Structure 1
Amino acid sequence: PSPYAYLDQYQEEPETAPTTIGGYQTLKKTYSYNPVPDDADELVKKHIIGVQGNIWNEYMQSDERRDYQAFPRAVALAETGWTQNNRKNWNSFRSRMVEDFERMDAMNVKACRNFFDVNINTHVYDGTLKAVLETFYPDAEIRYTTDGSAPTAKSELYTQPFTWEGYIDLQAAAFKNSKMLGKVNGKKLYANLISGKQYTTTPHWGWMSGDIFGENDILGADTTTLGLTNGKRGNIASFTPWVAFSLNEKNNNELVFSVDLEKPATISKVIFGTLYNPAFRVLPASAARVEVSTNGKEFKEVAQTSYTREYPEHGRKMFTDVLEFTPTEARYIKVTLKSGGTLRNGIDCRKDSPGDIIPSDLYVDEIEVY
């Protein structure tokens, strides 16, 4: 099952983890897997005889890399295979994992150590976007800073999700008895006028809908924290944070992003990010336009520009673009992004569809308004 048991996928922040095939499933998410769904037909339940952890080796050049990908999630799958779902308990499991790591260390198993670190996320609570920190190590303290400095045992203690203002460089680590357990994890967060707000897009987003909250969520299941306004920008390590759009002649090769500020505000800048990855049929926006309205009906254009891109010879690149304009009052905002153009099928990308020239997709993250 893809959301839980592919151990070749990322299990910690892709920006800092060893490169692998993609996806994202932590130890906690793997442990939450129920191979015998409660609502399954009783006859079906009788014929489910086991579980499988899938681990493809394309990105694993050594025994240490295979250890890192398989463990500790293989332990979670083993317990899942031998334990009825109603008897599984995450808190009990993570308490026992402390000794399991000692056992793996003694056996020279080079397991992923995210268990000792802090995972940084964002989530909308009652309409407000907040930063959420979590460590899997039982009864550990989370200490954090917002200025990019490394946290110590005397740094701010995390007790609950919190709001922030503007741009922060959030750094966090887990501590036990004033001793740091793992490494420091960081994430840059961007608060702006549309942080956490619902929005609409034309066309609707495709197979990637942006980052998710909650270890047990299947990708895209979170309906409150949407990928384009979750306070985090995309990266070139993983597709998970990005929102994917298929653009073609039917939608005028354009993406239209619309958002309601809920009350008038003075705005003067829009920032957005798009991705270059031609092998995956993705090109960045070639042009952008910003329109505003006070009533949601009549819109006026306040900014428009086109882009001449410099692409790397190999690999991916993320572009972050800024449109600045004379301060203007607005409640409703439209941001229109133009397709990056076409690709030579079988030359710029793998040819698995007909046609010599094909339209590129657009991957977007984040859209910010100031």
Structure 2
Amino acid sequence: MKLKPILISAVLVVLLIAVSGSLNGQNSEPAVIPVPIEMKVKQGKFVLNENTRIVFPDNEDGCRVAEYFANWIEKPTGIHLKEGNKNNNSNAIVFHIVQDDRLGEEGYLLDVQPEKVLVSANGPAGLFYGVQTIFQLLPPQIYSPEKIEGVSWNMPAVSIYDKPRFAWRGMHLDVSRHFFPKEFIKTYIDLIAMYKMNVFHWHLTDDNGWRIEIKKYPKLTSVSAWRVDREDQTWREVTPPKPGEKATYGGFYTQEDIREIVKYASERQVMILPEIEMPGHTSEVFAAYPSLSCSGKKMYVRPGSYWPNEDIFCAGNDSVFVFLEDVLDEVMELFPGPYIHIGGDEADKTNWKKCPKCRQRMKDEHLNNEDELQSWFIKRMENYLVAHGKKLIGWDEILEGGLAPEATVMSWRGIAGGVASARQGHDAVMSPGTHCYFDHYQADPEFEPEAIGGFTTLKKVYSYEPVPEELTPDEARHILGAQGNVWTEFIPAPEHAEYMAVPRMTALAEVVWSPDSKRNWEDFRERLDTQFERFDYMGINYSRGSWKVNILPEVSEDGKQYTIVFQTEQPGYPVYYTLDGSDPDTTSLLYIEPIVIDTSVIIKTGIFDHGELKEKYAEKSIIFHKALGKKAKLEVQPVKKYSGKGAQTLVDGMTGSARYNDGYWLGFDGTDLDFTVDMEEEVPVQQVTVNFYQRQSFWIFMPVEVIIQVLDESGKIAASQTALPKTDPKSEETVIEAFKVKFDHVKGQYVRVVGKNCGNCPAWHKGAGDTCWIFSDEVIVK
């Protein structure tokens, strides 16, 4: 949000924040996430003590929830809850099975009174979610795995009615790119359950490692689960195995491990969705069983990025389907949930076009193209799953060539897949990269661990609406819910996975559980502070990236005034800054209104709480020049993902960082940069500088030439110069090169910059023939 001007002293700001926090603590509702449908705060509190008893139903499911609750309570409190008398509920926590149509399968009623706590639900799921709310009503220390002394274990008297908005409330974890130990998987499931989410999507297989024991095919774990260790190299730039080098990096889950984890999840009302990739993302299989590919060549398990990924199961080879059905037999036996995820994404069909067996299959099955061959492949696998009582779900590419009759679509490439699926009468789970990919950056990339790209802040996740507005009410009922995805190319360790998922998963949890009418960003953000305390006691390495201050330029409507605005996801905290690049503290300038800039400066800023810096400083150099904030245009638009603020990005006073995806670089795929800025009147132009970016391992090259022109008020060229790159295109470094030209005695109203794209990657490049990218930032006119 924009920090609004507050014309008061820094000391008064801090005092007001402290007083406000104290008052909120007395009068506001308890900080529960997801926010319940109805919560009424009453007088008094319930005190949990050594004499408290637990009363639960006679059925097995009710007993299991009560046992889970009692075991959790005992660790931090030291209180061993004993079974109470059903006829005497005084100082008792009572679990009660009811028949209430309002609640559905997962809703609950919670009534906390000074003398007792009553949790009512139609079944175990509702009771379990009532328990999660009880935990959030208790002090944050309730999440400690060890006993904490000196805590008053009480909860406010409240009355709550609650149930979920969506049936599918999921979190995903990729364990192929990096293997995560069994105990962390349990921790991840605990986090899912803590926020009333109910699906754990376990991405078990991919090019970088097979992670599930299949007894009929032992090489999947002896060979396909292991790769050479390249953890000292950047994911996208790893070197292949050396001759004779042993594969030592990886791991897998035994079937006994999986049964243990499935049971653990079931006790927490979490369904595990296993994903077995097909027909693409399968090269690790061919390291063990090469005959299943189109080429039949033995491969190695990829130690890093693998693109373009042309290796794929041979759709014309009947042995492939024997293999897959055997694998699925064991998978279905291990995972009792109704769904099996078969991937289906990014299946490069190049080899299918060349493969005689695949061509014959297309002829035999009367298929017109490779998309229809993929559809045939998926439908065949769906038939097998349905015959065994399972449902198929896959990424939205399974729509290509025709959707399998009973398939569910997981929409990741935006919302289009979900819309198409719902309009065809199929269920869909929404997981668009724009809002639900938690491997994306969540704060300023300059100060965050390297990520795959993107920019998905906590606030952006919270703003997500899973039901596309273009759907009719009848179509919208096919939207089962949404899911957050954690792909792990750049996430090698459990603590890093926690950092990327938490607290963004809490924001998504509220999106998929709470009514849209109850969601409020400012309220959610205040409630999140209490969650941070809970994470501390749990030992979770959560992100504080959302404390970052975003430094944003603004230009007045008349173009005469250039200002800098600070935005943050943290309301109510003082922000201090300097203009000379020095580290600010609480004696520095306090931000109270947009900052007018009339010279080049280095802004450095941070949020402080009671004198403590809450996160790393944000820093940006502002280059004051003649074209700053002037109206600009592009003849060819950049790729949307790298479009910043459009043409104005190149005259906003801010240069890009060493990360091409930081929002300050404009990216063009196979096209030129053709940019013009209007100076509004003829002015002397002595020098024009523009930066370009090269990272050839990402297909990003310098332009072959940069043409810089000064035009008069009629658009006639007054002067033109060409600058050539100095950077070696084969350089393996990330390079930012300034293309600078000077003019003598030239006046003009317009400045035009044309950066010529090299077209296609050269023959020596691993992407030979693919289109090249060029990236450009600020056009500086002096």
Total equivalences in the alignment: 348
Q: Structure 2: which amino acid aligns with 1:149? A: S
Is 1:147 aligned to residue 570 of structure 2?
no
- Indicate the SS of the match to 2:480: coil
Distance 1:143 1:270, change over 3 A: same
Equivalent position to 1:52, from 483, 487, 496: 483
Aligned partners of 1:110, 1:322: CA distance in 2, in Å? Answer: 45
Preserved CA contact (<8 Å) 2:701 2:729: no
Preserved CA contact (<8 Å) 1:15 1:238: no
Which residue pairs with 2:666 in the alignment? 243
Which residue pairs with 1:330 in the alignment? 748
Aligned partners of 2:731, 2:747: CA distance in 1, in Å? Answer: 42
Aligned partners of 1:328, 1:34: CA distance in 2, in Å? Answer: 53
Aligned partners of 1:94, 1:208: CA distance in 2, in Å? Answer: 27
Equivalent position to 1:28, from 450, 459, 464: 459
Aligned partners of 1:238, 1:27: CA distance in 2, in Å? Answer: 22
Aligned partners of 1:152, 1:166: CA distance in 2, in Å? Answer: 23
Preserved CA contact (<8 Å) 1:272 1:322: yes
1:166, distance to aligned residue in structure 2 (A): 3.4
Which residue pairs with 1:178 in the alignment? 611
- Indicate the SS of the match to 2:459: helix
Equivalent position to 1:348, from 761, 765, 768: 765
Aligned partners of 1:327, 1:65: CA distance in 2, in Å? Answer: 56
1:147-206 deviation line (CA, Å, top 9, x unaligned): 100111121111222331332211001123333333322122223222223322333333
Which residue pairs with 1:5 in the alignment? 436
Distance 1:245 1:12, change over 3 A: same
1:49-80 deviation line (CA, Å, top 9, x unaligned): 32200111111111111011101101101111
Preserved CA contact (<8 Å) 2:443 2:548: no
1:259-302 deviation line (CA, Å, top 9, x unaligned): 21112222211111111122332211232232222223321225
Is 1:285 aligned to residue 718 of structure 2?
no
Preserved CA contact (<8 Å) 1:209 1:226: no
In the TM superposition, what are the counterparts of 1:112-261 in structure 2 within 5 Å?
112-126=543-557, 127=559, 128-212=561-645, 226-239=648-661, 240-247=663-670, 254-261=672-679
- Indicate the SS of the match to 1:49: strand
Which residue pairs with 2:725 in the alignment? 307
Distance 1:92 1:44, change over 3 A: same
1:328-361 deviation line (CA, Å, top 9, x unaligned): 221112222233464235x5243xxxxx545533
In the TM superposition, what are the counterparts of 1:84-95 in structure 2 within 5 Å?
84-95=515-526
Which residue pairs with 2:773 in the alignment? 361
Preserved CA contact (<8 Å) 1:244 1:362: yes
Equivalent position to 2:530, from 91, 99, 114: 99
Aligned partners of 1:360, 1:138: CA distance in 2, in Å? Answer: 42
Preserved CA contact (<8 Å) 2:553 2:563: yes
Which residue pairs with 1:353 in the alignment? none
Equivalent position to 1:263, from 675, 681, 685: 681
Which residue pairs with 1:217 in the alignment? none
Aligned partners of 1:13, 1:296: CA distance in 2, in Å? Answer: 42
Aligned partners of 1:204, 1:120: CA distance in 2, in Å? Answer: 24
Which residue pairs with 2:471 in the alignment? 40
Q: Structure 2: which amino acid aligns with 1:368? A: I
Q: Structure 2: which amino acid aligns with 1:188? A: S
Distance 1:210 1:147, change over 3 A: farther
Aligned partners of 1:138, 1:206: CA distance in 2, in Å? Answer: 33
Preserved CA contact (<8 Å) 1:247 1:255: no
Aligned partners of 2:468, 2:708: CA distance in 1, in Å? Answer: 47
Preserved CA contact (<8 Å) 1:23 1:238: no
Aligned partners of 1:282, 1:69: CA distance in 2, in Å? Answer: 27
Aligned partners of 1:287, 1:36: CA distance in 2, in Å? Answer: 46
1:135, distance to aligned residue in structure 2 (A): 2.6
Preserved CA contact (<8 Å) 1:281 1:349: no
Max radius of gyration: which structure? 2
User: Can you give the 5+ residue segments of structure 1 that lack an aligned partner in the other structure?
Assistant: 213-222, 249-253, 351-355
Distance 1:38 1:342, change over 3 A: closer
Distance 1:95 1:327, change over 3 A: farther
Aligned partners of 1:258, 1:11: CA distance in 2, in Å? Answer: 32
Aligned partners of 1:166, 1:284: CA distance in 2, in Å? Answer: 30
Aligned partners of 1:297, 1:70: CA distance in 2, in Å? Answer: 52
Preserved CA contact (<8 Å) 1:5 1:54: yes
Distance 1:246 1:192, change over 3 A: same
- Indicate the SS of the match to 2:603: strand
Q: Structure 1: which amino acid aligns with 2:566? A: L
1:110, distance to aligned residue in structure 2 (A): 0.7
* TM-score normalised per structure 2: 0.42
Aligned partners of 1:326, 1:132: CA distance in 2, in Å? Answer: 36
In the TM superposition, what are the counterparts of 1:10-21 in structure 2 within 5 Å?
10-21=441-452
Structure having the larger proportion of residues in strand: 1
1:142, distance to aligned residue in structure 2 (A): 0.8
Aligned partners of 1:208, 1:194: CA distance in 2, in Å? Answer: 25
- Indicate the SS of the match to 1:367: strand
Q: Structure 2: which amino acid aligns with 1:226? A: Q
Preserved CA contact (<8 Å) 2:711 2:719: no
1:92-111 deviation line (CA, Å, top 9, x unaligned): 01111111111111111111
Determine what percentage of the aligned residue pairs are the same residue: 27
Preserved CA contact (<8 Å) 2:656 2:664: yes
Could you tell which deviates more after superposition, 1-10 or 237-246? 237-246
Aligned partners of 1:344, 1:267: CA distance in 2, in Å? Answer: 36
1:141, distance to aligned residue in structure 2 (A): 0.8
Could you tell which deviates more after superposition, 130-139 or 10-19? 130-139
Q: Structure 1: which amino acid aligns with 2:633? A: T
Which residue pairs with 2:255 in the alignment? none
Q: Structure 1: which amino acid aligns with 2:592? A: T
Preserved CA contact (<8 Å) 1:266 1:327: yes
Which residue pairs with 1:218 in the alignment? none
1:129, distance to aligned residue in structure 2 (A): 4.3
Preserved CA contact (<8 Å) 1:242 1:363: yes
Aligned partners of 2:481, 2:637: CA distance in 1, in Å? Answer: 38
Structure having the larger proportion of residues in helix: 2
Could you tell which deviates more after superposition, 46-55 or 193-202? 193-202
Q: Structure 2: which amino acid aligns with 1:26? A: T
Q: Structure 2: which amino acid aligns with 1:87? A: K
Preserved CA contact (<8 Å) 1:119 1:185: yes
